[in-house]
Amino acid sequence: MRQYDGTVVVVTGGAGHIGRAICQGFLNEGAQVVACGRRPPETPVGDGPEKAVFFAADLRDSEGSQSLVDFTLERFGRIDILVNNAGGSPPVEAAAASPRLTEKIVALNLVAPLVLSQQAYGALSANDVPGCIVNIASVSGARPSPGTAAYGAAKAGLLSSTRSLAMEWGPHIRVNAIVVGLVHNEAGIEHYGGAEGFQRVADMLPLKRMAAPVDVANAVLMLCDDKAAYISGAALEVDGGGEVPVFLHLAREAAATK
């Protein structure tokens, strides 16, 4: 028997970089998975014979998120785990960001997961064992986030709502968050100035590498496991040991040039 046999899991942003890894992790362990995104992916979500069921919805619209809950219940009759993974933001200077863009960023990264969690509450709390919600947060919500101020503020709000919902909804639902650090994405290497800049940033982390999507997925599966039954309201940092203060590197570089 696999770890999540008979379990129904909903993963938002399920066709994305991290979302696919989360879906695959649950599929590997026998779960029925519903992956949600705004548009159907070009390739199915799932590398093996078992695939996730894809449902298209814009979760910034409360009717869209309610339709996701309704679809899952009609298809599988239950929801055991909700992973609020959808999110993100383009880089934009705060002084140049339009009010509309700010609203969209906060809607996607904070309002949407909060509303979807509320809409899924009835299903998640109706089972014999506590339901699980895992919110995918970011280090941007726990430290300054220049260039993505609205995103950082939204992720900080997501961490706060994680703790609040854990208090309100226990013992019927456990609510936890994962504070994700830098994640390796081949498409984003140029964001770091190419391969050399990318490696330099990775070398600044204690574990000397950025996270792989599967690292985040493994943390999600761990928090939803029965062995984590007494963990709720937690913010698990999956950041390779944290970002070393830049001033230390600058000081070392200055010392090396003497």
pLDDT tens-digit readout, 81-138: 999 999 999 989 999 999 999 999 999 999 999 999 999 999 999 999 999 999 999 9
Buried b (16+ CB within 10 A) or exposed e, 161-189: bbbebbeebeeebbbbbbbbbbbebeeee
Among 4, 121, 151, 192, the one annotated catalytic:
151
Q: Is the pLDDT of residue 257 over 90?
A: no
Pick the CATH number of 8-256 from 1.10.1060.10, 3.10.129.10, 3.30.2130.10, 3.40.50.720: 3.40.50.720
pTM of the model: 0.92
Q: What's the count of helices (H) and strands (E) in the chain, helices before strands?
A: 8, 7
Let me know if 4 is a catalytic residue: no
Quick one: which H or E segment has residue 53?
strand 53-56
C-alpha 138/C-alpha 135 separation (Å) is 10
What is the residue extent of each domain of the chain? 8-256
| 3-class secondary structure, 179 | strand
Dihedral (CA of 235, 153, 157, 136) sign: negative
Decide: residue 9, CB within 10 A, 0-12 exposed, 13-18 middle, 19+ buried: buried
